[in-house]
Amino acid sequence: MHLLCMTVLIGFLAGLVARWITPGRGFSGFLLTMMVGIAGALTASFFGQLLRWYEPGQSAGFVGSVIGAILLLAGHHLVVRGR
């Protein structure tokens, strides 16, 4: 339960920082911000393990989570802008 609470907290904070850094309108609300932050952490962990920056089973830290969330938000803005 402790790991879940920490994941949600770090995901929300990473989502907030990513929304603050990434320009444009997009996701809003507590739940969507948290989901973008958690998805960013998972994305950063996946690519970090793929590039051998992290060991298998090791997750990305806060900075990696923010970078992953920024990449997801930037991709979202590019897709939405193209419509």
Q: Per the structure block, which two tokens stand in for 51?
A: 């590039």
> Could you tell me the pLDDT band of residue 1, with boundaries at 50, 70 and 90?
low
pTM, entire model: 0.74
The residue among 71 and 60 whose pLDDT is bigger is: 71
pLDDT per position as a tens digit, 26-50: 656 677 777 888 888 888 878 888 8
Dmax of the chain from CA atoms? 41
**Nearest alpha-carbon partner for 22 in 81, 69, 79:** 69
Neighbours of 19 (CB within 10 A): 20
